[in-house]
Amino acid sequence: MSAPSEFELLQERATEASELLSAMSSPKRLLILCKLVEDEMSVLDLAGEVDLSQPALSQHLAKLRNLKLVKTRRDGNVIYYSLASGEVEAVLHTLYGIYCGPDSVA
What pLDDT score does 51 carry?
92
Structure confidence at residue 11 (pLDDT): 85
pLDDT of 103 higher than 80: no
Helix (H) or strand (E) holding 84: none
Place 74 in a pLDDT band, splitting at 50, 70 and 90: very high
Q: Is the pLDDT of residue 104 over 80?
A: no
pTM: 0.83
Contact by Cβ (8 Å): 94, 23? no
3-state SS class at 100: coil
In whole angstroms, what is the distance from residue 87 CA to residue 90 CA? 5
Domains identified in the chain and CATH numbers: 27-99 (1.10.10.10)
**pLDDT 10s digits, 5-64:** 888 888 888 888 898 899 999 999 999 999 999 999 999 999 999 999 999 999 999 999
> How far, rounded to the nearest angstrom, does the alpha carbon of residue 59 sit from its chain's CA centroid?
14
Cα distance between residue 16 and residue 19, in whole Å = 5
